[in-house]
Structure 1
Amino acid sequence: MNLLHSNDRRGEYPGSYYAATATPLAPFPALAGEVRADVCVVGGGFTGLSAALHLAERGYDVVLLEAHRMGFGASGRNGGQVGSGQRLEQDTLEKMVGLDDARRLWQMGEDAKALVRELIDSHDMACKYHSGIAHGCWRAREVGHTHAYAEKMARDYGYDQIEPLDRAGIRALIGSEAYQGGDLDHGAGHVHPLNFAIGLAAAAAKAGAKLHELSEVTRIEDGTRPVIHTAEGRVVADHVILAANGYLGGLEPKVAARVMPINNFVIATEPLGDRAQEILSQNVAAHDTKFVVNYWRLSEDGRLLFGGGESYGYRFPDIVRTVRKPMLQVYPQLADARIDYAWGGTLAITMNRMPCFIRPRPNVLSASGYSGHGVALATLAGKVMAAAIAGQSERFDLMARLPMPAFPGGPALRTPLLVLAMTWFALRDRLGF
């Protein structure tokens, strides 16, 4: 089975709130016959579209191949949160890579957020950037760490955008009795992710990149000029960028060994009207400290978009049932709220939750495995790979030298081993450990 086709219809967006409210995007033609390019980009999400845009702006002849529609994958289905920094906290990164590289990684995270805002503004996208992400602590013992981290970031990194919140403060902000404290990152934000992806596609096409939909890559031939094959055509290119993330499949084994697809799910309630103010008193996004994280925000028409629950196989479960349960743990007052949309998607994680930047074979670059922190970082990754192809590889090399262990057991055993680990951590969530 192939995750590209397990839960979706060919060439169609899932039945999500995002797809229902997306800016119309005219289809791009499928690849036919042989074409030549300086760079072939595989995948039409944030990473690939950003790479195509920035390469085209540098004057490269770029061809991008997408199996379905632009923004079809995780880029068009996620929670829309534009988070600060990396997926791991800075004190963890300092221990992992040392203070100097940790500071560089932090700056890349800041650059990533700024890039999202810059692209939205400079290309006049039909996508608003809203400031603020709240972080709710499920357990009382987590509050002290959260507040100490805000202090550290202000003291050591000059980042004073994180506002510590006590129990009353977090409850006033997010309208839930479930959390014991937390914080509000005023420097982070949230967007309509599919409209952002569509905006990137329009910008890349305008810059001269040649975009192709319904063009699933079946194999890549190595060589001084790699050949990228689809069912109806092929691209002969000087360079290849792999940007398929959780939908890469077996196309590149060296990436697949380190980057594992998992499924996550989102529901959207009916418009809540005046009740929306009781859910989030400010127009911020939110997430919590559960290992299987809950994340949510309000749509522009006042719906609660709530994400939670995971699965690790090919087929999606009953999504409403899977997500409604954690939603009601956070907001029991929404027991009577109608669910209008429910959708799932496949993202990708790594063993240490840091993105996997790798040169898996000659003339091929890959970035993926954003582990739920990809709206900003995936967008920056595309720009970073464009720069690397142009000979400016410092930031790519910084990411590529991060420790990136393979999943134990290889492709055959990684899923059952991950399920065991995730089940254990989910049990800890339920038991309050």
Structure 2
Amino acid sequence: MNLLHANDRAGEYPPSWYAATRADFPALPPLQGAVRADVCIVGAGYTGLSAALHLAERGLKVIVLEAHRVGFGASGRNGGQVGSGQRLDQDALEAAVGLDDARKLWGLAQEAKDMVRGLIAQHDMPVRFYPGIAHACWSAGEVKHAAAYADKLRRDYGYDQLEALSKDQIARLIPSGVFAGGELDRGAGHVHPLNYAIGLARAAQGAGAVIHERSEVTKITHGAQPVVATAQGQVTCDHLILACNGYMGSLEPQVAARVMPINNFIVATEPLGDRAREVLAEPVAVADTKFVVNYWRLSEDNRLLFGGGESYGYRFPDIVKTVRKPMLEIYPGLRDVKIDHAWGGTLAITMTRNPCFLRVAPNVLSASGYSGHGVALATLAGRILAEAVAGQAERFDVMSKLPTPRFPGGAALRWPMLVLAMTWYSMRDRLGL
């Protein structure tokens, strides 16, 4: 199944609140005929657009090919959270790659957050960065772990923005009464994800990059000068960057064997007005500790944007029904509230939840599989890919050391195995284990 077309209309954004409130960005023409570039980038999400911006700033001729619209995929549909650290916590990274590289990875993640804020300001993007992400714990054991982790980051990494929250403190922040405690990261934040993608696209164009929308790549011919073909044209380039994430399909088997596309779903309620205080006492974003994670925040017009639910198929389910259930478990008082927007999207995970940085060939690079932690990390990935193309691959090599093994059975069996794993972990969530 081609996920580029399984759930969406060709060349259109999904019916999301983000699309309804997006900044102006006129449609760009598809690729026509044969052209030449120093670098061709497949995918106009955060990774591809950031790479295009940083390569164009170096004076290279850059062409970006996007199957639909800028920010069409996960970059324009996600929860907008700009989190701290890598997808795995520092304890796990220290065990996986050693203390020195774990410290480098923490530094890269801090740079990634700073990049998002800095690029928004530098390029006067049509998006605002809101500080604060809370992590809401369901059990006393998780609360204890959160407090210990805040202490570790303060002691070992000099990070003092993470505050442990007691049951009473989190109840004041999240007035639902269901959580045992948690933590609040004042150094993290959240954005309107589609407008951030549009801001990156505008910045890349301003630096000289050329973006072609409605230009789905149908074939890649590798060699000293890769040739990237679409239905109406082709790009011959010196370097190729694959920035497709969950929409890679069969374009590159080496990546597909390590990176799994999965769907996630979000709803936007009607504006809540004064009832917004029943949801959050501060304009922070939230994620809980369930394996099938729930995440939410308030929009600028006081809607609850709530993501969650589970579905084991590439076709989107009844999204309102899927997401409303976990939403009402946390906020039962919103049972009468109307849902104005409901949408799904495809992100990508890896076996270890580490991002997958891969050198497919000497002149072909890929970064993907951010596992729900991509707003900041994908932006940084674009800069790191640009550095590697320019011959400065040290940071690319650090990221590529993160373990991202092939799924057992490769691309063919990864989906059935994920279904089994998700069924098991969602059962644990329901049992409170």
Aligned match of 1:181: 181
Question: Could you tell me which amino acid in structure 2 is paired with residue 408 of structure 1?
Answer: P
Aligned match of 2:283: 283
Aligned match of 1:203: 203
Larger CA deviation: 47-56 vs 311-320 = 311-320
1:217-256 map, 5 Å: 217-256=217-256
**Alpha-carbon distance, 1:411 to partner:** 1.7
Aligned match of 1:138: 138
1:112-146 CA-partner distances (Å, limit 9, x unpaired): 00000001000001100000000000112111000
8 Å contact kept, 2:309–2:325: no
Question: Could you tell me which amino acid in structure 1 is paired with residue 423 of structure 2?
Answer: T
8 Å contact kept, 2:41–2:240: yes
Report the 3-state secondary structure (helix = DSSP H, G, I; strand = E; otherwise coil) of the residue aligned with 2:309: strand
Aligned match of 1:80: 80
1:329-374 CA-partner distances (Å, limit 9, x unpaired): 1111111110000000000000000000001123100000000000
**Alpha-carbon distance, 1:313 to partner:** 2.4
**Alpha-carbon distance, 1:24 to partner:** 1.4
Identity of aligned residues (%): 70
8 Å contact kept, 1:222–1:362: no
Measure, in 2, the Cα distance between the counterparts of 1:142 and 1:430. 16
Aligned match of 2:90: 90
Aligned match of 2:191: 191
Segments of 5+ residues of structure 1 without an aligned counterpart are none
Report the 3-state secondary structure (helix = DSSP H, G, I; strand = E; otherwise coil) of the residue aligned with 1:310: coil
**Alpha-carbon distance, 1:54 to partner:** 0.5
**Alpha-carbon distance, 1:312 to partner:** 4.1
Report the 3-state secondary structure (helix = DSSP H, G, I; strand = E; otherwise coil) of the residue aligned with 2:283: coil
1:377-388 map, 5 Å: 377-388=377-388
**Alpha-carbon distance, 1:310 to partner:** 3.1
Question: Could you tell me which amino acid in structure 2 is paired with residue 94 of structure 1?
Answer: E
1:365-408 CA-partner distances (Å, limit 9, x unpaired): 00000000000000000010001111111110001111111001
1:78-137 CA-partner distances (Å, limit 9, x unpaired): 000000010000011001100000000000100000000001000001100000000000
Measure, in 2, the Cα distance between the counterparts of 1:255 and 1:412. 13
Measure, in 2, the Cα distance between the counterparts of 1:132 and 1:176. 19
> Which 4+ runs in 1 deviate beyond 3 A?
none
Provide TM-score, normalisation by structure 1.
Answer: 0.99
Report the 3-state secondary structure (helix = DSSP H, G, I; strand = E; otherwise coil) of the residue aligned with 2:267: strand
1:268-347 map, 5 Å: 268-347=268-347
* Corresponding residue pairs, total: 433
1:158-202 CA-partner distances (Å, limit 9, x unpaired): 000001100000111011211100000000000000000000001
Aligned match of 1:212: 212
Aligned match of 1:41: 41
Provide TM-score, normalisation by structure 2.
Answer: 0.99
Measure, in 2, the Cα distance between the counterparts of 1:309 and 1:347. 14
1:298-352 CA-partner distances (Å, limit 9, x unpaired): 0000000000023342210000000000000111111111000000000000000
Aligned match of 1:32: 32
Segments of 5+ residues of structure 2 without an aligned counterpart are none
Question: Could you tell me which amino acid in structure 1 is paired with residue 100 of structure 2?
Answer: D
8 Å contact kept, 1:262–1:310: no
Measure, in 1, the Cα distance between the counterparts of 2:53 and 2:44. 11
**Alpha-carbon distance, 1:412 to partner:** 1.7
Measure, in 2, the Cα distance between the counterparts of 1:26 and 1:311. 34
8 Å contact kept, 1:287–1:296: yes
Measure, in 1, the Cα distance between the counterparts of 2:402 and 2:145. 25
Aligned match of 2:399: 399
1:237-280 CA-partner distances (Å, limit 9, x unpaired): 00000000000100000000000000000000000000112211
Measure, in 2, the Cα distance between the counterparts of 1:69 and 1:397. 31
8 Å contact kept, 1:41–1:243: yes
Aligned match of 1:11: 11
